[in-house]
Amino acid sequence: MKYTIVFVTVPNKKEAKKIADIILKEKLVACVNIINKLESIYWWQGKIEKSNELLLIMKTKTSLSKELIKKIKSIHTYEVPEIIFLPITAGNTDYLKWIDDSLL
């Protein structure tokens, strides 16, 4: 697939905006949506944990995935940040062209 949606969770709005600003300026993503008030329940180091987080939803080209992962890991505060890619199998061709035009 040529395009992908990326999910990244973050602990707070400040970090969400920091990550969004950096990866947008470096043209690694075309768009970042920030969703507030996400409650996460997950396994961490053998225990079930609960956290209030925010979710970043990003649109990009699959070809930029390795560079995007490297950049997010370098600026994210989590030891093991969630960075998950889902393929875009179809979509508005004008929107997909806009993704192309917005990136390197």
Mean pLDDT for each 10-residue chunk of the chain (104 residues)?
96 98 98 97 97 98 98 98 97 96 89
- Give pLDDT, residue 31: 97
Strand partners, 56: 8, 34
Which domains does the chain possess? 3-51+64-102 (3.30.70.120)
Please say whether the beta carbons of 37 and 53 come within 8 A.
no
Q: pTM of the entire structure?
A: 0.94
Residue written as tokens 């890991």? 73
